[in-house]
Structure 1
């Protein structure tokens, strides 16, 4: 975080002390030493000295100089009317910004205008619409420790959404911070500075006393009659109190944020766990590929309003674990898919809805203007129409939502009667309150209007009375109303004219009646503007009193939008309702919801019994990673309440989804790619349960083949034997396919390819990277069994590697495989001769005994020797040799 304080050493000139204005500025800088103070001076926010240099650089505004009794020093300013653009740049650059506003009317003040910081703007507490993504939650978080427990509390200052949770498992709290993705974090005094935080948020230092228990109780008392009743432990109490106190401080409020009417306490174990690695590798919200393509949220986000977008995002970040709650959402989505008219009507009405959560936040903070109130009224107007659209719904969720929409006709009527349909932005300049709403205001307006009409008629009547055709009646802010007569006509001026101003070619006068009317007009206008502002504030306050009910409306509209959107996406993309139950994951013709949007997609089945480990082999580029991700995405979609991209899906309720997919490093943190992958693997092996879904992709790469294969095999065995998690394990270590013969719940899957139009079937045993001559077509289709080749060199050729390199690679692999084949054949011959010798000697060999002994075993062994002698190694291709070896091994195993 950046901070600029001042004044710099040597800035004060020997000619005198700081001027009163600069003293005021630097006093505020010292009071807000962790912030960049923007000092209002008329229509600009100004900065001086070092702060000016930083403001000029970050905001790309001209650096000027100011000279006064203090000396000459840099100055830079940004226009208040366009401040949002520059504030965004400052926040992006890591600054906290304190707005020092003029809190006195300069015209009514002699001397220095008083200024005070009215708001501290930080990444986590910004409330300006121009600085916020309309459909995204913006949290500031506080992390506190108490004994064995760590708690995190968050608040979205723009909407009033406040949540708190805790856990005695550090990993679970890290996952929760990943899901909450706060823009700013406050760390309690007992929390380590090296605490793992998501997405590199701003870490703000606060007074440790902010996290004191007594201070927290005092803060929470304004939000709940019994502060300790809304939290589960002291850590939650401290975190919640700290984050709300900080939110109050940044908003310049001495008291509570009235629109934070509900503090939600929840347990992370109520939701499907998705850590930062899973969120990233499944590309739920961020695309990891080149060109930043679409994400799962992009596919789902066809919401009608900002309320629904934030709700949909929250559901995707926190899929459910309770089967009844999941199926209740599915019931609502299904009804919306079947009843297109009701769905479309609800969505059409929701498109007319404004962001009520943020509107009521501004209303409660006293920062809403008249247009905000009209927007709120327009949103409340859709409630009766939405209730009508839901009149015949049958699902329990939709019925409850319809009944939860309150009758806020009183608020609607108040705004409609009080506020003009198209009011000005500024609420202090008049023209906001409707005629007929307040009798006193109407009288003042009538007086003002009649006075102006009298003045408008005065010019014509005075011309007639004086005979001066060039006479004009005008007005300016300095001298008020006047009658202007040119110099040649001054001798015709009546006696009741009093001189007001002398010009070069004319004189300006007023009459007693004009002066009286002026006083009436200006007095009525001033009193009307003041009264109108008071009326507006009173109306706004009355609306703020209904904040709880309006937030309930916002909650209902958000849920309706999310459900209707999931239904619309399901219809558009041909999704089906998943079923729950059975013993494992059973998906028929499943698809990747994002990939299918951009390319022709080959659907694939997934039949994964609970606790099974599927070893997935196949060529590079064949779709192994896509297949694993699509299985996980189907699970995530189902548990968030969505339908899924498949012809049929029967699923268990999964407690966690773990992924070890893709390469990344953390050089700054001292971790290589391999170390980072091992760290992710560690989290999986410690955190997965028998109800988890685990995706492992190329575990063991990045080190020697022997070490990598050993890690991969040991991991597979541990997941199978100790954890029992349903697992998809993609690998190029074809040796792992042998686990299917050793472990009950290990199965082999492979992605096939065509070589010159001939489909290559999966085969057990070792496989080759060498590719027979000809073109290879990847079928992107999963099948049982192990792949016979990875086609690594062919992929290199397709990527454009020079032919000389590709040809040499084929030669080297052929040489290596020929050597390996010969060595294996020699070993097979040795074993065969050993069997034959034992048989001939008549020894009661266990091998012979297990094979059944006698003439049958001897005949099989003799056949193997005969086939070995007939084999022409010089003309046998590597693929033929592998198939022959597989046959020999099978026959030898039968013999054993």
Structure 2
């Protein structure tokens, strides 16, 4: 976010000389110094001085000049009717935007029109449909630190557009970062004693009034919305985070401008009915690294498959409500077996009830985004079409309930009971609002005939008057004998009778001239003027009454916002369950058994890769609770895909979804950790290896025996000796100290010897077959270790020039010949067990051993260091580092 903009300097220098309108603009700029103020002047939002120069440059609009009695000012404006697209550009450029609307009709004042900031548009507080992604939540987060609570952190997240509001407490900054990855907020407000470090780089971090973070002020605001905070929240840190976030949301919706007479549609967010306090330990934790590497929501690389993500595969939802709910479930897989089984029961029932499933899916297509719709209703920003959309959704509910007749699973029975048909609200909207109303609610044509007697009388007066005028033209032609006589209307002069110049001698005496044109004159009669006044009075009174009636209806609907939100939640869950059943039925997923120990899968498949590849080879997984599997095999053989496949099957099972496998038994995991793929952080000054080690450190410090760990090529970014040392030490630490279910893919083939020595470790491999025309990858996992990496063959397949390939093979052959001789069984038929770069430590030792029986004498420095070393107190990694250091000294 840009630094505070402040009042325009050119205006500040001469603020005592400004005209009333420019003084008003200057005052708003001072009050909202952290925002770019868009100031309504008629049909445009204008900016002035430095703000105008900035706006013109960013929006690529014309920079003009305003001239008044005090001088000239740069000015740039955007049309109000198309403001949202311009505001989006300003947000992308890092600005907050304070929208200052005219809150007084010009004809009602003799001086300057009152203006007030009715909303402050920020990335995390958007409610405008044009700026929102309909299928994603748009969260703003708040983080506080409470030293008195043992250093805990309070976290609150709010979607202002839907009313979703969550709070929790975590014990460390790193835990706060992990929790925030669930919600991916667009914006964050940070307390005075907290840091912005836990937030992703794509999140706009803002500061706010420190007073809002005070315990008493925050508690009072939470109580104003939800009752005593002690009943809802567990810590002071949570209370402060929630209260400050509510204050910031009110500020963004216009609540900061206390002097503005803007009505109840700004400031207080009446539609916020629920604050959900949750325990992070109730859900599987998927941090930002896991979300990215497993491609739950965003593909790591797009090669013609933009939807190559887990959510892209699963999202067969029919409406925006369901799509957002599905993403929420994927971000927060469950740890409660009963809740998981309840979802699985529902999905299984829908897989069996095909016709009902398809009927409900078709019905849900007609469901509007009523979560966001009801928030607009409650803020007083909904128009008549919004209310009709709500009614259209409510009209679907009885049919959905009928289609659910006879459901058996407890989850579906509960959802059916939650399908509030809201007959009273449906009836009110149906009686009050026309079926196809105009967008504007102030110009009439909104309220149905028969809803209000007074309005009907006014409209009848208006219609009768207009009918009389329609007949006037013919009657006056007959009375005057002027065949070209016309009756017309314009907004300036009202109704008139027009007579062309050649016929002026026939004009009756009761005609009074109203307007002279080039070739004609326009007249009015006393009776026409009387009728005009009658029509205008009836029309104006009818329009005003319609607007008042519409606001009454909208207000009545807003009072039912909690019911609408509960219904929306039920429809969203139903949509997800139907979609998951559709995916399961269409793609051959099976119901997993959740609970017990380990991960045991028969013919498992990667849910995304199987959709993007023409053929896919299923694989089994047999991973006990404390098992560590070292996976070797050539590049491109499928190691990484296999590991991700296992993780995704576990996640899907704990979401409550069927899985892509013939059978699956999944023990509950508390976290999924991934160290997969290469990446760097150039801007942050971190190399690929440093990023890898940082992620590895987080895993080793945070994983528990109930976690699932995926490690891919740990130690790749450094020397072979260092890399193997780190890989071996990590393997031993995970096995001995953590005991988590672990899949470790590696090119350090010596690591297979380590795995063979550990009680709960196994070797798995992916094999390949070399043919004359290249390498054929079988993509099948099997017990044991691989015998080759086929790196040169993969390079050839990738298109590396032939000269490089030939030279690589020459060098490889030269390296392998001594190893072949050492491995020979005496008859010359020995097979090479590893390629260059994959020779075991024993091979290297044999190459260094003298061929005679003489005993080598150690240098004194080497001998002294060996004597000082306590072997019993040396870790495997330290031992390897010592051995490498001593060997270098011997070589010197």
CA–CA distance in structure 1, aligned partners of residues 832 and 807 of structure 2:
16
Q: Please, which of 222, 242, 247 is the counterpart of residue 224 of structure 2?
A: 222
Find the residue that maps to 1:727 and give its secondary structure: strand
SS state at 1:381 partner: helix
In the alignment, is residue 729 of structure 1 matched against residue 729 of structure 2? no
Q: Which moved further from structure 2: 347-356 or 505-514?
A: 505-514
Task: Give the CA deviation at 1:9.
Answer: 4.2
**Paired residues for 1:490-505 under 5 Å:** 490-505=504-519
Q: How does 1:221-240 map to 2 (within 5 A)?
A: 221-240=223-242
Q: Structure 2 length normalisation: TM-score? A: 0.90
| Counterparts of residues 746-761 of structure 1 (less than 5 Å) | 746-756=761-771
Partner of 2:880: none
Q: Distance in 2 between matches of 1:740 and 1:9?
A: 70
Task: Report the aligned-residue RMSD.
Answer: 2.2
Match among 324, 342, 355 for residue 341 of structure 1? 355
TM-aligned CA distance change 1:249 to 1:723, over 3 Å: same
Partners of 1:399 and 1:548 in 2: how far apart? 21
Q: CA deviation at 1:34?
A: 0.8
Q: Which residue of 2 aligns with 1:852?
A: none
Counterpart Cα distance in 2 of 1:615 and 1:12? 69
- CA change 1:738–1:6 in 2 (3 A) is closer
Query: Does structure 1 retain, via aligned residues, the 8 Å contact 2:337–2:595?
Result: no
What pairs with 1:304-343 in structure 2 (closer than 5 Å)?
Answer: 304-343=318-357
Quote the residue 2:445 is aligned against. 431
1:362 equivalent among 354, 357, 376: 376
Distance (whole Å) between structure 1 residues aligned to residue 226 and residue 546 of structure 2: 35
Q: Mark the CA change 1:674 to 1:12 in structure 2 (over 3 Å): closer, same or farther.
A: closer
Cα 1:16–1:463 change in 2 (3 A) is farther
The answer to whether the 8 Å contact 1:656/1:692 transfers is: yes
Q: Which runs of 5+ in 1 are unaligned?
A: 757-772, 826-866
For residues 325 and 227 of structure 2, what CA distance do their matches in structure 1 show?
28
State how 1:373-452 maps to structure 2 within 5 Å.
373-452=387-466
Q: Give the Å deviation of 1:401.
A: 0.5
Cross-structure match for 2:814: 815
Q: How does 1:510-529 map to 2 (within 5 A)?
A: 510-529=524-543
Distance 1:880 1:480 in 2: 97
On the 8 A contact 2:36/2:98 being kept in 1, the answer is: yes
- Give the counterpart of 1:642 among 657, 680, 694: 657
Give 2:54's aligned residue. 54
Q: TM-score, normalised by structure 1?
A: 0.89
Equivalent position of 1:274 in the other structure: 286
Separation (CA, whole Å) in 2 of partners of 1:4 and 1:719: 49
Secondary structure of 1:144's aligned partner: strand
Residue 163 of structure 2 corresponds to 160
Larger Rg: 1
For residues 810 and 502 of structure 2, the distance between their equivalents in structure 1, rounded to whole angstroms, comes to 111
C-alpha contact (below 8 Å) 1:7/1:49 kept by paired residues = no
Shift of 1:94: 1.2
Cα shift at 1:531? 0.2
SS in 1 for 2:601: strand
SS of residue in 1 equivalent to 2:669: coil
CA contact (8 A) 1:166 1:236 kept: yes
Cα distance in 1, alignment partners of residues 49 and 157 from structure 2: 36
Structure 1 position 880, deviation (Å): 10
Query: 8 Å contact 1:420–1:432 — kept in the other structure?
Result: yes
Is 1:560 the counterpart of 2:574? The answer is: yes
Residue number in structure 2 paired with 1:115: 115
Which residue does 1:134 correspond to in 2?
A: 134
1:489 Cα deviation from its structure 2 partner: 3.3
Rounded Cα–Cα distance in structure 1 between residues aligned with 2:136 and 2:632: 40
Evaluate the alpha carbon distance shift between residue 728 and residue 795 of structure 1 in structure 2; reply closer, same or farther with a 3 A threshold: same
Measured in 2, the distance between the counterparts of 1:679 and 1:252 equals 43
* CA deviations over 1:166-215 (Å, ceiling 9, x no partner): 1113332211101111000000011024x221252111111111111111
The answer on whether the counterparts of 2:712 and 2:745 sit within 8 Å (CA) in structure 1 is yes
Q: Secondary structure at the match of 1:259?
A: coil
Separation in 2, partners of 1:788, 1:716:
20
Q: Deviations over 1:18-67 (max 9, x none)?
A: 33322222221111111111111222211122222222222222223333
Contact 1:6 1:51 in 2 (8 A): no
- Tell me, yes or no, if the aligned pair for 1:387 and 1:402 is still in contact at 8 Å: yes
2:175 pairs, out of 172, 190, 212, with: 172
Contact 1:7 1:50 in 2 (8 A): no
Q: What is the rounded CA distance, in whole Å, between the counterparts of 2:166 and 2:153 in structure 1? A: 14
- Alpha carbons 2:497, 2:523 under 8 Å: kept: yes
**Map of 1:429-508 to 2, 5 A cutoff?**
429-508=443-522
Please report how far the alpha carbon of residue 795 of structure 1 lies from its aligned counterpart in structure 2 after TM superposition: 1.1
Alpha-carbon shift at residue 594 of structure 1 (Å): 0.5
1:185-196 alignment runs, 5 A limit:
185-193=188-196, 195-196=197-198
User: In structure 2, how many angstroms separate the alpha carbons of the residues matched to 1:381 and 1:176?
Assistant: 38
Q: Is the 8 A contact 1:4 1:50 kept in 2?
A: no
Matched residue, 2:30: 30
Counterpart in 2 of 1:689?
704
Distance 2:796 2:690 in 1: 30
Cα distance in 2 for residues equivalent to 1:151 and 1:383: 39
1:301 and 2:303 are equivalent in the alignment: no
Task: Give the secondary-structure state (helix, strand or coil) at the position aligned to 2:224.
Answer: coil
CA contact (8 A) 1:135 1:307 kept: yes
Q: Which residue of the partner structure matches residue 17 of structure 2?
A: 17
d(CA) in 2 for partners of 1:225, 1:2: 37
Please give the alpha-carbon distance, in whole angstroms, between the structure 1 residues aligned to 2:128 and 2:416. Answer: 32
Q: Does 2:692 correspond to 1:677?
A: yes
The question of whether the paired residues in 2 share the 8 Å contact of 1:5 and 1:30 is answered with no
**DSSP-derived class of the 2:17 partner:** coil
Distance 1:108 1:473, change over 3 A: farther
Q: 1:576 aligns with which of 584, 590, 595?
A: 590
* Structure 1 residue 774, shift from structure 2 partner: 6.1
Partner residue, 1:801: 800
Residue 12 of structure 1, CA deviation: 8.4
Contact 2:103 2:116 (8 Å CA) reproduced:
yes
Q: SS at the partner of 1:76?
A: strand
User: Is the deviation greater in 660-669 or in 307-316?
Assistant: 660-669
**1:400-438 superposed Cα distances (whole Å, 9 cap, x missing partner):** 100111231110010000000000000000000000000
Q: Post-superposition shift, 1:90?
A: 1.3
Residue in structure 1 matched with residue 791 of structure 2 by the alignment: 792
Aligned to 1:212: 214
* Residue pair 1:592, 1:627 contacting (<8 A) in 2 also: yes
1:338-384 CA-to-partner distances (Å, cap 9, x unmatched) read 00111111111100000010110000000000000000000001111
Segments of 5+ residues of structure 2 without an aligned counterpart are 256-265, 847-892
Q: Does 1:593 align with 2:595?
A: no
Distance 2:223 2:645 in 1: 48
Give the SS at the match of 1:577.
coil
Moved more, 293-302 or 253-262: 253-262
Determine the C-alpha separation between the residues in 2 that align with 1:734 and 1:523.
91
Mapped partners of 1:468, 1:706: distance in 2: 108
Maintained 8 Å contact 2:637/2:779: yes
Pick closer, same or farther for the CA change 1:491–1:724 going to 2, 3 Å.
same
User: Residue 818 of structure 1: CA displacement?
Assistant: 2.4
Q: Does 1:535 align with 2:553?
A: no
Residues of 2 paired with 1:203 and 1:179: CA distance?
Answer: 17
Contact 2:820–2:831 (CA under 8 A) maintained in structure 1: no
CA contact (8 A) 2:253 2:267 kept: no
Aligned residues: 825
Q: How far apart are the structure 1 equivalents of 2:324 and 2:16?
A: 56
The secondary structure found in structure 2 opposite 1:165 is strand
